[in-house]
Structure formats: structure tokens, C-alpha cells
Amino acid sequence: MTTLTYQIRASYAFVERNINLIKRYWSWELVWLVYSIADSLAVSFIGLGVGKLGGGNPSTADTNYLVIYLLIGTLVWRFLSTIFYWITNLIGIERWEGTIEYTLMAPVRRITHMAGQTFFAISYSLFFTGMVLLATALVFKIDLSKANLLGGTLMLLAGSFSFVGIGVMASVLPLLFPERGEQMTHVFIALLLLVSGIYYPVDVLPPVLQKLAVLSPATYVLEGTRRTLLEGLPTWDLWQYIWPVLLMGAVLIPSGLWVFSMAERYAKKTGKLHRNG
Amino acid sequence: MTTAIIVNEVYKKFGKSELPFWRRIFGHTNGNGSNGNGHNGHNGNGAKAAEKSKVVVAVDKVSFTVGTGEIFGVLGPNGGGKSTLIRLISTLLLPDQGSISVFGYDVVRQSMAVQQIINRVSVEASFFKKLSPMENLLYGARLYGQDGAETRKKVVDILTRLGLEKRAIYNPMEEMSRGMQQKVAIARALLTKPHLLLLDEPTTGLDPRSKREVQAVVREMREKSGTTILLTTHDMVEADQLCDRIAIMNSGKVIALDTPAELKKLIPPKDGQETTLEDVFIELTGKKLVNEEEETV
Ligand SMILES: Nc1ncnc2c1ncn2[C@@H]1O[C@H](COP(=O)(O)OP(=O)(O)OP(=O)(O)O)[C@@H](O)[C@H]1O
Ligand SMILES: [Mg+2]
């Protein structure tokens, strides 16, 4: 068996394992789906409420725009954060189950490990976000006649790679801090949520945060997706949003792998792998 | 007989290092534990002493070789350093000093090559609790590049061979007793056909019949596939019957290494009764304990 086929086979181990885990924990996934749908709906209703709260009398077109604007924000965010958590969970879940030593002593390159987990994370996040989209579409009349759906999907996929990179970096926290590492990963998500303009245009932010927004891949994904879905921006013109996120991915994934290998070395040096608490 | 494992002057300590963690992460390895004076160095004073007292030398300049196809036992009291030694061999820990090679591959520099030919069973069963034995073992085997369909067949073979009921193979692990889980752990290691099998207390928690089944499998692996086996156990009878040679470890040091028969010759028989391996264990590891007490008083 050549090294490549060997590694491809090994990467499937992670895909199959995750599918099996989802099957066994399906009720938890269902709860999470209900939560996600409720969350998307709740945020999108703000769009309907704004008119009343402001006391003005905005045209229905504006309100609709606002609802879809918010809805896209929640969906894109659901997609990216689901990827982030699946990647970050790489180590967290195995710490929790106590299998980490067995996975890390297997003859699997870290890049193979990440590739398997990434393939699963992106596929599952697409599926999951699709379910949320379907459910919310039953509540809001969403007019997608102008939308460039292909462009929107491309934008999401392009953006997912940079989130994989961030996720890989965050996944070292449970490796280094057996007790609290997993909780610490939430900080990444909270900061990205703040600066990326999920629920508002980034230009409402204070100047300092606006500068940070430029560095967040989610900013480009959101802007790109909104313009393709709301304005029907043609796929070709999407390039202005795609190249920054691809570039970030190209930097973040290799650096993530590097950070991970350093953390793994450190854990093996200090005996952190088999400490459960 | 060719050599399977060479352990050369291996030293491993745990505990606080004086360097901040980012410097340790980024490669500046720490001064190689020059205070290699066994447990809890009492030298130094003030804050330095407090710092050093957190250091445990788990494996202290250990050297030995294991031949191909040998069943090599490691005995010793709790905290003696047996599991640490096994983790060093299985690439899960990096040694501070010394070197280990497995069939000619260095565990640090050629870890991937080592990983391909070894597997390990630990005391804790370590599985995805909600997944079934089948799902857990499929995952384990795929990590070693094995084919799915073939693995499914082998899993059923091996687990029924180890006396597990068929329906248990498809139910979540959490519904199984500790002994049953331990059998699945052994099956996980057998599936990948390792050249070197590291068994860390494989029979702890098993009933007498299951113990014998596991011991039979261990012997069979050696006979049929020529597998080299390094095992730790707290069962002296098991060690006596199973092992070709035995190393006794105490406070990280190998204090005796020989065949069971030769080890027993070290202790003269008492009250006309033949010396057992247990007598040897108690005698050899006991002295050390007394000494330590004297030191601390
Ligand atoms: N990851 C770790 N971090 C810190 N100290 C550790 C770690 N692993 C082991 N030790 C320490 O190293 C020493 C040797 O432990 P080890 O687990 O190797 O002993 P053992 O011989 O396997 O004992 P037992 O018979 O109880 O399994 C102990 O003092 C233990 O506390
Ligand atoms: Mg042990």
C-alpha cells in the first residue's frame, strides 16, 4: 500500500467515526438543531420589530430586506461556527472520551487527521445549515428570485477553509489545558462574532474594531454571501471576497498545523496527554 | 535472536520546569534533568527546593534489551514507572535523556515507522463510550490503514474468541462491564497485527477464566506470529508463567532483571517453602521503601 492510499484510508477513519457518533448522539443533534432554528428565527424577527420600535413607518420592502439580511447572518454564522467547533473538537472530544492516546499513537499524519475531520466538518455543517434554512423558510417568505445560489455556496465553501485554520489553532487549547481548554475555545468564536458584522454592517463599529474586522475571514464571507443572495452579484464579481478568504486559509491552515505540532510535542514532553483533570 | 527493543539510559521526569511554557513549546528544551537523584530531590533550599520537590523522576536511567519474539515482563510497585516506560516506547512521551529503538527505528526521530509496527493496551479501556465495540474497533483499525469489510469479519472472530457475546459487539461500550471492555481493548491491539505489543496490566480486573483466555491469546500471538510482547502486571503468578524474562522496577530504576527462575534464586527459601516471585517482589522492592523512610525521618 502506498503512503498516499494509506493516509487517505486513515483519514476516512475520522469521517466514519463522526458519522457513528452523530448516529449515537442523534437526540443531542436534534436539540441543537431546534436551538439553532429558534436562534435564527429570533434574530430575524428583530428585522420585523425594528419598524415598530423605531416608531416610523418603513416600507415593507425595507423590513423584508432587514429580515433576510439578519437571516443570512445567522445562517452563515451557523455554518462557520459549526465547522469551527467540529475542528476544535478534534482533541476535546477524545480527551473527554479518553481515547486521545490511541489516536495520537496511530501512524497517521496530522494533516491526514485534519483532512478527514475537515471533510466531515464542512459536509456536516452544510447539511445542518441547510436544515436550518429549510425550517426558517417555512416561517419567512424568502424571495430568492434575484439570488445567485451557486455564488453563495461557493463563497461559503471558500470561507470554510480559513475557519478550519482557526479551528486547528484553537484545538490545541484542550491539548495544553486538560481541565479548561475546551471552554477557552469559545473566546475565538465570541471575538469573531463581535467584529465580523454578523448582525450589522461593520461600519457601525468603532474604528478599532473595524480594523479588526478586516482581519476576520467571516467579514468577507458575510458580505459576499449577502451580495450574492440579496443583490444577485454574479459569481465572477465575487472574486473580490473570495481571494482574501482563500489567502487567509492558505496562511491559517499551515500555521494551524505548525502550532498543533508544537503543542503535541509539548504535551508529549510534559505528560499532558494522559492527564484527564 | 535479533533485538526488538533497545532501551538505552532512558530518563524521564515530570513536574514543574523553570522555563515558561512558551519557551518549552518552542523547542528550547530544558536542561535535561541534571538533578537525577530519584524521587523528590531534597537538595537545595528556599523557593528552589519547593520548586524541585514537585519533580518526579518516573524513569531513571533505564537500560535493557528485549529479543524478537520474547515475552518480557515489567513488575514493580505502584508509581514505579512501568506505564511511563511503556508510553515512552509507544511514542506518547518524549524521553528527557537516552534513546529507545524498536526494530531499529528510533522512537523520537522515526516515530511514524515505530507507530506502524506497535500497538498498546492500557489499564483504562479508553473507548468512545456511546459507540459499540464494532464501531470503536473499525475506527481503530482504519487508523492503521486497514480495510473496513475485512475488519468487520476479524472483529467478530477475535471478540467471540475472547468470549464476548455476539450481541454485545453492536451495543454501546458503556453497557459493558470493565472486563468485557478490557477484552475489546485487547482486540483493538490484535487487529493491527503489531510486531511489538505493549500490554499495560492487560488482565487487571478480569475474572480467572478471562485472565487465562487473555494469557492464551498472548502466547498464541508469540507462537503463531512471532510477536514480541512487553507486559506489566501485578499478578505474580501470571508473570511467572508467561514471561521469559522479568525486569523489576522501583522508583524509576530497574533493580533486577532475569528469568523468573533466576530471580527466585536471589531469595533463599523460608520455612522450607519454595521461593515465589511474590517473595522476590516484596523483598526487592521492600528494602527500598525502608531506606526511603529512613531518609525522610
Ligand atoms: N503525566 C504525568 N504527569 C505527572 N506525573 C506523572 C505522569 N505520569 C506519571 N507520573 C508520575 O510518574 C511516576 C510513575 O508513574 P507510572 O504511571 O509510570 O507508574 P506505574 O509503575 O505504572 O504504576 P502503577 O502500578 O500504579 O500503574 C508516578 O510518581 C506518577 O505520579
Ligand atoms: Mg501503570
Give residue-wise pLDDT tens across range A150-165: 999 999 999 999 999 9
Lowest mean pLDDT among A150-154, B28-32, B102-106, B250-254: B28-32
A3-25 mean pLDDT = 91
Mean pLDDT along residues B96-104:
96
Range among A14-23, B163-172, B176-185, B264-273 rated most confident = A14-23
User: What integer best gives the mean pLDDT of chain A?
Assistant: 89
Q: Does the CA dihedral B248-B254-B259-B261 come out positive or negative?
A: negative
Residue B27: is its pLDDT beyond 60? no
Rounded average pLDDT over B209-228: 91
Per-residue pLDDT at A1: 56
Confidence of residue A276 (pLDDT cuts 50, 70, 90): very low
Name the H helices within A98-216.
100-104, 110-139, 149-170, 172-176, 181-184, 186-195, 207-215
Mean per-residue pLDDT for B183-210?
Answer: 92
Q: Does B29 contact A at CB distance below 8 Å?
A: yes
| Cα separation, B48 vs B39, whole angstroms | 16
| pLDDT computed for residue A180 by the predictor | 81
Contact between B129 and A144 under an 8 Å Cβ cutoff? The reply is: no
Q: Flag whether A275 is in a domain.
A: no
Dig out the grid coordinates for B92 from the structure: 506518547
Structure confidence at residue A137 (pLDDT): 87
DSSP 8-state class, residue B248:
E
Average pLDDT over residues A146-152: 87
Q: Is residue A40 situated within a structural domain?
A: yes
pTM of the model: 0.87
What Å distances lie between residue B151 and B137, B148, B217, CA to CA? 8, 5, 18
Q: Is residue B287 predicted with pLDDT exceeding 60? A: no
Is A276 contained in some domain? no
A99-111 per-position pLDDT tens digit: 999 999 999 999 9
State which ligand 1 atom lies nearest to the alpha carbon of B201. 27
Residue A262: domain span? 3-270
Instruction: Look at B25 and A265 and tell me if their CB atoms are within 8 Å.
Output: yes
Q: Which amino acid is present at B26?
A: F
Residues surrounding ion ligand 2 at CB below 5 Å = B 83
Cβ neighbours for B104, distance < 8 A, ≥ 6 positions apart? none
Number of domains composing chain A: 1
What are the sequence ranges of the domains in chain B? 3-12+61-130+194-285, 17-54
Q: Which three cell numbers stand for residue A148?
A: 445567485
Residues A230-252, mean pLDDT to the nearest whole number: 93
Backbone phi, psi, residue B35, to 5°: -90, 55
Minimum mean pLDDT among A50-59, B44-53, B243-252: which range? B44-53
pLDDT at B17: 55
CB contact under 8 A, A263 and B25: yes
Percent of chain B residues past pLDDT 90, beyond the cut: 66
Architecture of the structural domain at B3-12+61-130+194-285: 3-Layer(aba) Sandwich (3.40)
| pLDDT tens profile B39-53 | 443 444 444 544 555
The pLDDT tens digits of the residues spanning A192-228 come to 999 998 999 998 999 999 999 999 999 999 999 999 9
Q: Which of B53, B56, B85, B198 to mutate to test the pocket of ligand 1 (most atoms within 8 A of CB)?
A: B56
Per DSSP, B168 falls in state G
CA B230 to chain centre: 7
Longest dimension (CA), chain A: 70
Task: Write down the mean pLDDT value for chain B.
Answer: 85
The answer to whether B121 and B158 have CB atoms below 8 angstroms apart is no
DSSP state of B175: G
Mean pLDDT of B75-84: 95
Whether the per-residue pLDDT at B159 is higher than 70: the answer is yes
Looking at CA atoms only, how far is residue A192 from chain B in angstroms? 25
Using alpha carbons, select from B204, B274, B256, B258 the residue that is nearest to residue B233: B204
Residue A57 lies in a domain: yes
| Range of lowest pLDDT (B60-64, B148-152, B206-210) | B206-210
Name residues whose C-beta falls within 8 Å of residue B219's C-beta, 6 or more positions apart in sequence. Answer: B71, B242
pLDDT digits over B254-268, tens only?
999 999 999 999 988
pLDDT of B193 > 80? The answer is yes
CA dist B27 and A265 (Å) reads 9
Q: Do residues A264 and A110 touch, judged by C-beta distance below 8 A?
A: yes
Q: What is the DSSP string of A256-270?
A: HHHHHHHHHHHHHHH
pLDDT of the residue at B35: 36
Q: Which one has a higher pLDDT value, B244 or B40?
A: B244
Ligand 1 atom index nearest CA of B82: 21
Position B149 scores a pLDDT of: 93
A277 located within any domain: no
What is the reported pLDDT for A257? 95
Q: From the CA of A210, how far away is ligand 1's center (Å)? A: 50
- Quote the pLDDT of residue A223: 94
Identify all chain B residues contacting A98, using CB atoms and an 8 Å cutoff: 124, 126-127
Cα–Cα distance measured from residue B64 to residue B5, given in angstroms and rounded to the nearest whole number: 8
B143 Cβ contact list (under 8 Å, min separation 6): A10, A13, A102, A103, A106, A107, A108
* Centroid of ligand 1 to alpha carbon of B221 (angstroms): 28
A75-83 mean pLDDT: 94
What is the per-residue pLDDT for B288?
47
pLDDT at B66 over 50: yes
HSE-up (13 A, CA, CB side) for residue A106: 28
Residue bearing the bigger pLDDT, B88 or B209: B88
User: Rounded mean pLDDT of A163-171?
Assistant: 93
| Domain annotation covers residue A180 | yes
